[in-house]
Amino acid sequence: MRGSGRRDYLKRNRQIKSRHDRQREETDELQITMGNRNIRIIISGGGTGGHLFPAIAIANALRRIEPDVKILFVGAEGKMEMQKVPDAGYEIVGLPVSGLVRSGSIRNISVAFRLFRSMIRAGQIIKKFDPDVVAGVGGYASGPVLKQAQQRHIPTLIQEQNSYAGVTNKLLARRAVRICVAYEGMEKYFPKEKIMLTGNPVRQVYDNLASLRGEALRYFNLDPEMPVILLLGGSLGAGTLNDSVCGSMDLIETSGKQMIWQTGSHYYDRMRDAAEARGVTRIRVNGFISRMELAYAAADVIISRAGAGTISELALVGKPVILVPSPNVAEDHQTHNAMALVNREAALLVRDADARDKLVETALELVDDSTRRNSLSENIRKMAIRDADEVIAREVLKMVKR
C-alpha cells in the first residue's frame, strides 16, 4: 500500500512538472503573438480569506509572468476584498450581491433583487473592461461575473478550492474552459476533460522549517525540552476550539507539553484573562500570529479548522494535523475537505460537536505516539502541490484569444 502510494505520488509530480514545462513554452509563444497589446484579465470572487488569498496570489503570478497585464478584480460590496485587494495594489469594483438566508426568510426577496442588479452591473463591467479571460475563485461575486462572461463567449476559468464543489461552480462548469482543482476525484462534479489538478495557491515559505525551530522556540518563549501543540483558531468560527482549550488548561499544564494558542482577535482578551486567572505557564496565548512560519517550525502537532487554503498550506508544512471542520460553512465544505485527508491517513478528525470533550486529549495522545505522527506527516506531504499560483496563472494566459 505504501509503495503503491509512493509510486502514484511520484507519477503525479512528474505529470505536473511536464505540464509546467509545456505551460511555459505556450505562454512564451503567447507573449510573442500578442505583440504590444496588453492582456486584460478579470478575477472575480472573495468574501472570505479562503477565496480571496488564492485570487491575489494568482494576480501576483500573472504580473510576474506578464508584467504589463491589466487586472481588474470584481468583488461583493461590503466584503473583505473591497479593502484587501486595493491594499495588495489592484483595482476592484463591487457588486451588490449577497448570499441566501438559509432559513427561507423573506429577506431572500431582497437577495434575489440584489442578484438581478449584480447581473446587470457585471455585464456593464465586462463591456467596459473588455477582458480576454475571466477567472472565478468562488464567493458571491463570482457567479454573476462568470455567467455574464460566458454569455459573451469570453473564456472563463474556475478555481475550486474545496473537495466538494458548490452549486454555482457546478452550473458554471458547463461553459467554463478550464477548472483548476485542489483535490483528485473532482470528475464527480465537473466534466473530466476540463479539470486540471493544480492545488490551491498558498504561502510558499515552508521549505526550511527545521532550520527555524531554535528561533521559533525563542520567539514564543518555549522550553526546548517539551513538545509543542499549535492550535490555530482564527475568526468567529474559533469558538469551539477556544472552549476546548479553556476546559483543558489544567490537563495541558500537567501533561509535560506546551501550546501555542491562536485565539482569533475577537476572543483574545477573554482567553488571555482566562489563562492568567488559571496561572498557566505552558500556554502561549496569541490573538493573531504574524510569524506563521515560526509557529509551524515550533509545532510537533497542529490543530486547525479545515478550510481549503489552510489544508493546502498544512500539506506543505508536513506536520501531523488534527482537523476540526467548522459546521458553519456552506454545504459542509470543511468536513468534505477533512475527509479527503482522513481517507488517505494524512490527518486525524475530531468533529466540532466532540471537540470540547476530546480535542485536547486527542492531541496529547498524538504527541506521545511517534509512529502515528511520522505516518501522518509522510502522508500529508504526499498531498502537497507547489507553485499552484503560477500554474493557474499560466493556464489563464493560455486561454487568451490570440
The predicted-structure confidence for 79-135, as pLDDT tens digits, reads as follows: 899 999 999 999 999 999 876 655 556 666 778 888 999 999 999 999 999 999 999
Q: Give the per-residue pLDDT at 386.
A: 84
d(CA 99, CA 117) in angstroms, rounded, equals: 14
Q: What is the mean pLDDT of residues 38-59?
A: 91
Confidence at residue 331, expressed as pLDDT on a 0 to 100 scale:
75
- Residue 389, all three cell numbers: 499560483
Q: What are phi and psi of 131, to 5 degrees?
A: -75, 155
Higher pLDDT, 79 or 196: 196
Q: How large is the average pLDDT for residues 205-227?
A: 93
Q: Coil, strand, or helix at residue 43? A: strand
Give me the percent of the chain exceeding a pLDDT of 70: 86
Distance CA 402, CA 396 (A): 13
> Is residue 270 predicted with pLDDT exceeding 60?
yes
Instruction: Name residue 176's amino acid.
Output: A
Is residue 329 scored above 70 in pLDDT?
A: yes
Mean pLDDT of 251-260: 97
Average pLDDT, the chain: 89
Amino acid found at 376:
L
- Chain centre to alpha carbon of residue 333: 12
Does the pLDDT at position 3 exceed 80? no
Q: What is the pLDDT of residues 141-172, one digit of tens each?
A: 999 999 999 999 999 999 999 888 888 899 99
For the four alpha carbons of 352, 354, 356 and 358, in that order, the dihedral sign comes to negative
User: Alpha-carbon distance 339 to 331, whole Å?
Assistant: 14
The phi-psi region of residue 227 (left if phi > 0; otherwise alpha if psi is between -120 and 50; otherwise beta) is beta
b/e for 285-316, b at 16 or more Cβ within 10 A? bbbebeebbbbbbbbbbbbbbbbbbbbbbbbb
Cα–Cα distance between 272 and 165 in angstroms, integer? 38
Angle, to 10 degrees, between the axis of helix 388-398 and the axis of helix 49-65?
Answer: 60
Segment 383-388 mean pLDDT? 88
Amino acid identity of residue 333, one-letter, is H
* Helical pair 108-129 and 142-151, crossing angle rounded to 10 deg: 50
Q: Taking 90 as the threshold, does the pLDDT of residue 401 lie above it?
A: no
Give the closest residue to 216 by CA, choosing from 289, 291, 298.
298
Cα–Cα distance list, 382 to 105, 206, 372 (Å): 44, 15, 16
Instruction: Give me the pLDDT at residue 369, please.
Output: 98
Residue 138 near residue 45 (C-beta atoms within 8 A): yes
pLDDT at 290 (0 to 100): 87
- Which domains occur in the chain, in start order? 2-201+387-398 (3.40.50.2000), 210-381 (3.40.50.2000)
Instruction: Tell me the C-alpha distance between 81 and 44, whole Å.
Output: 10
pLDDT for 212 equals 95
Mean pLDDT of the region 247-275: 95
- For residue 145, the tally of other CB atoms under 10 A from its CB is 31
Residue range 203-210: mean pLDDT, rounded? 77
pLDDT of residue 128: 96
Q: What percent of the chain has pLDDT over 90?
A: 70
The whole-angstrom separation of Cα 56 and Cα 38 is 19
* 7-40 tens-digit pLDDT: 555 566 666 656 555 655 554 544 434 455 799 9
Higher pLDDT, 97 or 243: 243
Would you state the pLDDT for residue 17?
Answer: 56
The three state secondary structure string of 219-236 is HCCCCCCCCEEEEECCCH
Name the pLDDT band for 304 (thresholds 50, 70, 90). very high
